[in-house]
Amino acid sequence: MAFPFDDDNEFCPDLAVIPADAVAENRSAYTPDLIECVAEVVSRSSIRRDYEYNPRWYASRGIANYLIYRGRDTLAYGPDVTVDSPLGKLTIPTTHLPVDPKAPHRS
């Protein structure tokens, strides 16, 4: 789903939280004022964009909740991970997340 920011730029975040009634409209693009939270999954090719550029762009459009998931950080799978935000608590079950066998493991 795309979010046009101006005439030259649009963003397609990895995850965007918008009101259920807007989702029900099933559009291909939504205005940034509908976005309650954005999440990006960082990859090697998106590090600079996700950490430097996107936070400024999202903030400039009034999107205050920006979550970055960096897949190389490791946590024990099994327990739920809870993130507090002004929107409330976001709980992510980790029991069934895939494991990258090439990722470094911490002991």
- 8 Å CB contact between 11 and 2: yes
In a domain, 89, yes or no: no
In a domain, 34, yes or no: yes
Q: What is the mean pLDDT of each run of 10 residues along the chain (107 residues)?
A: 84 88 87 88 89 90 86 70 77 76 61
Distance CA 36, CA 21 (A): 13
Task: Please indicate, yes or no, if residue 36 is contained in any of the structural domains.
Answer: yes
Q: What is the pLDDT of residue 5?
A: 80
Total count of domains within the chain: 1
* Full domain range(s) for residue 63: 3-73
Is position 102 within any domain? Answer: no
